[in-house]
Amino acid sequence: MMTAENLSTSGIQLLGTVLSQQANFYHVQLEVDSRELPLCTRRTRLKKIGQQVIVGDRVVVEEPDWTSGRGAIAEVLPRTSELDRPAIANVNQILLVFAVCDPPLDALQLSRFLLKAESTGLNVVLCLNKSDLISAEEKEEINQRLSDWGYQPIFISVYKNINIEQLALHLQNKITVVAGPSGVGKSSLINSLIPSVNLRTGEVSGKLSRGRHTTRHVQLFELPGLGLLADTPGFNQPDLDCQPEELASYFPEARKLLEAGSCRFSNCSHRDEPGCVVRGDWERYEHYLDLFEEAVVHQTHLHEQADPESTLKVKSKKGKQQYEPKLESKKYRQKSRRTQLQELQHLYQEEE
């Protein structure tokens, strides 16, 4: 395995980090002199063994050509972490950005994003933008509410440049993924942290109270000093693709209750079982119940797709997914007009 000690610094083999990917080319930031190679390719050997190269990978680059800005990725070093959506490696933490208003702060939507972030096992930094648009009393109320959830939010304002430097301290020497719904100011925040980036931003739709998608692909940006920031494609609702029995562990409030005691049953779903230490009057318990049912439906759907012999089918009613028995026998299916005409013609021929 290649290490920094046995790599040559003469330009033959160098260590670097993949900042972005477009088609079959990779933009690599080299570690020796911070020069960039925007047109690196992947060695055929890596393709043959199925070794993928994704944003955030630390790689070994061979034969860099400084004139053309080209090189070849010969090896991918072991990853310390890996996210699948978005595909990015060696992430240290997730910066979850929401707005306190415009669009209004939605507790259930925030919980969805927090659960998705918690499911990665990475550290979560919660940042609330547009804090200049609310009063000190409203800010304190939100802060206390989220503190009860188990989070200490950082209130910022990109427009007023409030607490941006404080936030930057949390990003030093780390690879951070920026996530959150559209229209909360993610791109504006990155522009503020890294002025040279100049990302395209989107306005909030007045009709839908949400922003327009502006980010198209995953890309790492170098922060002033040390650290990398990953801008990811925006999404309004992250998928709830965890196992139902794992869901409670993604709520800090539930984790705290479980640490203080144990449920009567080892496979407790924390809904209506006797002796459950999680069931209670904490604010997000109703969210837990709703999301638990959603996780069950999602996993059942995945099982149905993997098992074509399943006797259930998915049907959407009023925006909600429901499961109904499949009509396995052909006798329950309505005949087509063509079949009906053929049967009538056959009947007439028999009568003649």
pLDDT band, residue 210 (cuts 50/70/90): very low
pLDDT at 218: 83
What pLDDT is stored for residue 217 in this prediction?
73
Q: Which residues make Cβ contacts (< 8 Å) with residue 20, sequence separation at least 6?
A: 26, 27, 55, 217, 218, 219, 220
Q: From start to end of the chain, where are the E strands?
A: 13-22, 25-30, 36-42, 58-65, 70-76, 82-83, 88-89, 93-99, 123-129, 154-155, 175-179, 204-205, 210-211, 219-222, 228-231, 312-317, 320-325
Q: Give residue 204's identity as a one-letter amino acid code.
A: V
What percentage of the chain has pLDDT greater than the value 70?
78
In the chain, which ranges are continuous DSSP H helix?
44-48, 107-119, 136-149, 164-169, 186-193, 252-260, 285-306, 337-351
Q: What is the pLDDT of residues 239-283, one digit of tens each?
A: 777 889 999 999 999 999 999 999 999 899 999 999 999 998 999
Question: Which one has a higher pLDDT value, 17 or 67?
Answer: 17
Q: Which of residues 167 and 196 earns the better pLDDT score? A: 167
Averaged over 91-101, what is the pLDDT? 95
Average pLDDT over residues 329-341: 58
Query: Which one has a higher pLDDT value, 286 or 333?
Result: 286
pTM: 0.76
Whole-number average pLDDT of the chain: 82
Is 60 exceeded by the pLDDT of residue 322? no
In order of their start, the domains of the chain are: 13-78 (2.40.50.140), 88-231 (3.40.50.300), 263-330 (no CATH)
pLDDT (tens digit, 9 = 90+) per residue, 130-183? 999 999 999 999 999 999 999 999 999 999 999 999 999 999 999 999 999 888
